[in-house]
Structure 1
Amino acid sequence: MHELAPDAARSGRRPRRTVRDWLVDFSCFLLAAGVGLLGAEALSANPRVPEPLAAVDQALGALSCAALWLRRRWPFGLAAVMAPVGFVSETSGGVAVIALFTLAVHRPFRYVAWAAGAQVALVPLYFWWRPDPDLPYLASIVLLMVLMVAVVGWGMFVRSKRQLMLSLRDRARRAETEARLRAEQAQRLAREAIAREMHDVLAHRLTLLSVHAGALEFRPDAPGAEIARAAGVIRESAHEALQDLREIIGVLRAGESDDSGRPQPTLAALGTLVAESRRAGMKVTLDQRVTDPGAVPASVGRTAYRIAQEGLTNARKHAPGAEVTVTVTGGPGEGLEVTVRNPAPERDVPHVPGAGQGLIGLTERAILAAGALEHGPTPDGGFEVRARLPWG
């Protein structure tokens, strides 16, 4: 015999009965009706029971069987009513047992204890009023009490099993939700990392394009060699920007972080970055005091490279023509320090559009690498970016 989930799992409207629920309820009704028919037959065969009393008993039994369809909605009420009804009506005994079982499934033990206690208290009086012709008085009491204990124990076992299943389902549901949230968070973090990479890479390339395009616009009478050099830088920067953008879009489509594409630059590639900036017309001085840049951990070296790249990009935007100094110092156990410094621009600087998020992104990069980054104007009107990164 099975029931719906315990009431503790209910919320809002009551669930509609399923086909299985209807089959269980109909089976309970047939069982109670069968027990009632056996009781009615025993009453008819007992000459000590008057016929009017037997008729009243059978009427109460029929009403009790009909009330059995309400056991899911009001389990405690039905069990409480069946205690006195079962005492005066022998044909209602099956309904009283089923109501007690339903109460044990649907309600906590304190409700079951009240209903079962009332029925147990009436058992001696019942057999004193209606002794069983086939069993002694004490044996009848013990047998009925054992039956009631078994019914209550079975109902509480079913309730515990249902609660365990609900708990396991909730755990599985929570685990699935947490796994989905972790996956979404990992995807969001990966996309943020890709966005930072896009800013760091494309800002450097596109700034070169903007500066040299602006130079060609404002100096159409420049020497042919200078125009050709600027056009070469524009072509090369556009090609590199397209290549980087193609790789980033490919990563987004693949749903991965950076498992494909060209190797990520490290500190060893800083010389190439400075040479590229010099070819673009910048005045850059590189003061690298790290004996073996290749020994720097890849994550630290990549962060240092991006900081230097963003510093050169900002200097090219806001201080064109000024000499930029890139200094890298440190060693194992000391940490790595990267400084990008430029003096005040020598002339008015045309406005170059930008997102204004580069330094914020660099600060976040440094913090993620367990380091720190400071930036701000210098006393001579220039600007300085200084980062300290761990090198354990």
Structure 2
Amino acid sequence: MSGDQPVPEPPAFPGRRWLLPSAVLDPAQDPGSGRPRRRPRRTARDWVVDFTCFLLAVGIGLLALDTVNKEAGLPDGYAALDQVLGALACAALWLRRRWPTGLAVAMVPVCFVSATAGGAGVVALFTLTVHRPFRYVAWVGGVSLLLNPLFYWLRPDPDLSYPWSVFLSVVLTGATVGWGMFVRSKRQLMLSFRDRARRAETEAALRAEQAQRLAREAIAREMHDVLAHRLTLLSVHAGALEFRPDAPRAEIVRAAGVIRESAHEALQDLREIIGVLRAGDSDDAGRPQPTLAALDGLVAESRVAGMKVVLDHHVTDPAAVPASLGRTAYRIAQECLTNARKHAPGAEVTVTVSGAPREGLTVRVRNPAPPGEVPPVPGSGQGLIGLTERATLAGGRLEHGPEADGGFEVRAWLPWD
């Protein structure tokens, strides 16, 4: 009987729907809509369990039949009725999976009338205990215990005294209920373990998916920050050559040199990012990542490209800045210089870096209104969004916006532990 499949009482998980395997759900209802559905076919194990329960009930009924034959003064017609009811009760056990409560309730009056139906009553009570909450078992088992003393008073056992008969019936009922509750608890425990395992697998898959998404976002942000600077140089100087075909030869040569150098650097940066993707380690693959100490080189490169940049550096020892913090500050300054070159050509850009340990690192990039007409340069605004995300991931904050005089300022604060 331990192989019987119960319908456990779903445990309480706030905000989460409890899903059970189809083998333990009520086969008469669909779990989503509650509408009737086709019953699942019995497995080979189910058939073995059902046959075992049937044979057990028949065996107990045959033992009770011997007692019925020994009862003195029992009419022959009543003895035949007892046997017929016992046979019908054993046959009804094949319905115990579908109607455990109805079968157990029907067995109470049948067992009060028929002694040979006692085995079927025990199996029905066990099935009810396994499949239904304890309140059903308490009602059915309590009524059975109340009727047992009256049954043995009306039909005393020829081999046992009245107290022993009542005592053994109480022990048998208690053992049946206890065994059923043990099986039910074991099944519920196994189901909870399976549910936890499924939830753990789902959460692990979600964590892995989130990690992949964050990695893709980090790679996309890095590609934008690295390549946007180079490609903006290409766009600006190519646009200058397009709109000023009559420019002096020296200026054309300088612009062509900047375009060539920027294209070469962009290709190198792209190869570096591809190397990082292949190696799977952004810290060890490719060329060394920029730090705050490389900010001077970035400003010098921008000046060579024709920008007016003023660097106001108040960090005494840039090499003491943590690598991740310096890289974030470098990328912020790089993106701001790129935007200033696109949207405020000819304006003087001021880059201010200040801070100390436990006070944080502040990066401020400001440019006034452009001195002349700004040629149309494509832009999606993703750079500032990426900078905000980068600063937030580093535990800091970033603010940006236009000023009253037509200029633009970006101010970022990053924690420096």
Deviation, 1:309, is 0.5
**Equivalent position of 1:23 in the other structure:** 48
**Equivalent position of 1:317 in the other structure:** 342
**Equivalent position of 1:305 in the other structure:** 330
Indicate whether 1:6 and 2:7 are aligned. yes
| Aligned residue-pair number | 392
**Equivalent position of 1:329 in the other structure:** 354
Deviation, 1:317, is 0.2
Q: TM-score, normalised by structure 1?
A: 0.92
Indicate whether 1:34 and 2:59 are aligned. yes
Residue type of the alignment partner of 1:276: E
Q: TM-score, normalised by structure 2?
A: 0.87
Contact 1:190–1:256 at 8 Å: present in 2 too?
no
- The aligned runs of 1:23-172 (5 Å cut-off) are 23-44=48-69, 46=71, 48-172=73-197
Ranges in structure 1 where 5+ consecutive residues have no aligned partner? none
Distance 1:246-1:160 versus aligned 2 partners, 3 A rule: same
Distance 1:252 1:61 in 2: 76
Match of 2:384 among 359, 371, 378: 359
Distance 1:106 1:224 in 2: 93
Distance 1:176-1:263 versus aligned 2 partners, 3 A rule: same
Mean CA deviation greater in 252-261 or 141-150 = 252-261
Contact 2:350–2:367 at 8 Å: present in 1 too?
yes
Give a deviation string over 1:343-378, Cα, whole Å, max 9, x none: 222221111101112222222322333333232233
- The aligned runs of 1:188-199 (5 Å cut-off) are 188-199=213-224
Distance 1:95-1:208 versus aligned 2 partners, 3 A rule: same
Residue type of the alignment partner of 1:5: P
Give a deviation string over 1:12-31, Cα, whole Å, max 9, x none: 55654322112111111121
Give a deviation string over 1:189-212, Cα, whole Å, max 9, x none: 222222221221111111011011
Deviation, 1:8, is 2.6
**Equivalent position of 2:402 in the other structure:** 377
Distance 1:255 1:40 in 2: 78
Distance 1:259 1:70 in 2: 68
Which structure: greater helix fraction? 1
Q: Secondary structure of 2:400's match?
A: strand
Deviation, 1:41, is 4.1
Distance 1:254 1:53 in 2: 88
Distance 1:255-1:81 versus aligned 2 partners, 3 A rule: farther
Contact 2:8–2:187 at 8 Å: present in 1 too?
no
Distance 1:191 1:259 in 2: 18
Give a deviation string over 1:107-166, Cα, whole Å, max 9, x none: 122111111111111212222222222222211211121111111100011111111111
Distance 2:402 2:141 in 1: 84
Contact 1:190–1:257 at 8 Å: present in 2 too?
no
Distance 1:253-1:87 versus aligned 2 partners, 3 A rule: farther
Contact 1:191–1:257 at 8 Å: present in 2 too?
no
Give a deviation string over 1:296-326, Cα, whole Å, max 9, x none: 1222212211111111101110111222221
Give a deviation string over 1:13-68, Cα, whole Å, max 9, x none: 56543221121111111211222233334434556333222221111111111111
Distance 2:71 2:184 in 1: 39
| CA RMSD in angstroms, aligned pairs only | 2.2
**Equivalent position of 2:17 in the other structure:** none
Distance 1:110 1:136 in 2: 32
Indicate whether 1:296 and 2:321 are aligned. yes
Q: Secondary structure of 1:186's match?
A: helix
Contact 2:131–2:184 at 8 Å: present in 1 too?
yes
Q: Secondary structure of 2:215's match?
A: helix
Mean CA deviation greater in 156-165 or 371-380 = 371-380
Distance 1:141 1:42 in 2: 15
Indicate whether 1:237 and 2:238 are aligned. no
Ranges in structure 2 where 5+ consecutive residues have no aligned partner? 11-24, 26-30
Indicate whether 1:275 and 2:276 are aligned. no
Contact 1:317–1:352 at 8 Å: present in 2 too?
yes
Distance 2:199 2:157 in 1: 56
Mean CA deviation greater in 181-190 or 39-48 = 39-48
How much identity, in percent, do the aligned residues show?
76
